[in-house]
Structure 1
Amino acid sequence: MAPSVPEALKKKRQAYQAALAKRALAQQNAKKANTLKRRALIKRAASYAKEYAAEEKLNIARARQAKKNGNVYVPAEPKLAFVIRIRGINQVSPRVKKILQLLRLRQIGNSTFVKLNKATIMMLNIAQACSLMDPCDLGLDTVRELIYKRGHGKVNGQRIPLKENAVVEGSLGEVGLQSVEDLIHEIYTVGPNFKRANNFLWPFKLSTPVGGYRRVTNHFVEGGDFGNREDKINNLVRKMN
Structure 2
Amino acid sequence: MRTRLKVRKQPPAEMLSSKLIFAIRIPGSVDLHPHIRKILRKLRMTKVLTGVFLKATELTLKRLLVVEPFVTYGFPNLKNVKELIYKKGRGFLDKEPFPLTSNDLIEKALGSHGIICLEDLVHEIATVGPHFRDASKFLMPFKLKCPERRLQMKKKPYKDGGDSGDRGDKINELIEKLN
Q: Pick one of 75, 82, 88 that aligns with 1:150.
A: 88
* 2:84 counterpart letter in structure 1: L
Q: CA deviation at 1:151?
A: 0.2
What is the CA–CA distance in structure 1 between the aligned matches of 2:91 and 2:16, rounded to whole Å?
Answer: 30
| 1:88–1:107 Cα contact (<8 Å) kept | no
Residue 169 of structure 1 is matched in structure 2 by 107
Q: Percent identity?
A: 39
Opposite residue 108 of structure 1, the aligned amino acid is V
Q: Which TM-score applies when normalising by structure 1?
A: 0.65
Q: Alpha carbons of 1:75 and 1:133: their partners in 2 closer, same or farther (altered >3 Å)? A: closer
- Considering Cα pairs closer than 8 Å and 6+ residues apart, tell me whether 1 or 2 has the greater RCO: 2
Structure 1 consecutive aligned stretches of length 4 or more whose deviation exceeds 2 Å = 87-92, 210-213
Structure 1 residues 75, 126: closer, same or farther in 2, change over 3 A?
A: closer
2:145 partner SS = coil
Deviates more, 1:200-209 or 1:89-98: 89-98
- 1:216 and 2:156 matched: no
Corresponding position: 1:82 with 2:19: no
Output the CA distance in 1 between the equivalents of 2:143 and 2:15. 31
1:78-120 residue CA offsets vs partner (Å, 9 max, x unmatched): 1111110003443532111110000111100111011111111
Gapped runs of 5+ residues in structure 2? 1-13
For 1:141 and 1:79, the matched residues in 2 are separated by 16
User: For 2:37 and 2:96, how far apart are their aligned partners in 1?
Assistant: 25
Whether the 8 Å contact between 2:72 and 2:164 is mirrored in structure 1 is yes
Letter in 1 for 2:44: R
Matched, 1:180 2:118: yes
Aligned to 1:204: 142
Structure 1 unaligned regions, length at least 5: 1-73
**Paired residue for 1:126?**
66
Inter-partner Cα distance in structure 1 for 2:146 and 2:167: 16
SS in structure 2 opposite 1:229? strand
1:105 to 23, 45, 53: 45
Contact 1:210 1:240 survives alignment (8 Å): no
Q: Deviations over 1:18-74 (max 9, x none)?
A: xxxxxxxxxxxxxxxxxxxxxxxxxxxxxxxxxxxxxxxxxxxxxxxxxxxxxxxx8
Contact between 1:219 and 1:225, CA under 8 Å: does it hold in 2? yes
> Greater share of helix residues, 1 or 2?
1
CA distance in 2 between counterparts of 1:151 and 1:111 reads 11
How well do the aligned residues superpose, as a CA RMSD in angstroms? 1.7
Report what 1:43 is aligned to. Answer: none
CA contact (8 A) 1:89 1:97 kept: no
Q: What residue identity is the alignment partner of 2:163?
A: D
Give the AA of the match of 1:169.
Answer: E
CA distance in 1, matches of 2:48, 2:30: 12
Q: 1:133 is matched by which residue type in structure 2? A: Y
Deviation of 1:76 (Å):
7.7
Question: Aligned residues, how many?
Answer: 165
Higher strand share: 2
TM-score, scaled to structure 2: 0.87
Residue of structure 1 aligned with 2:170, choices 214, 226, 232:
232
Q: 1:208 is matched by which residue type in structure 2?
A: C
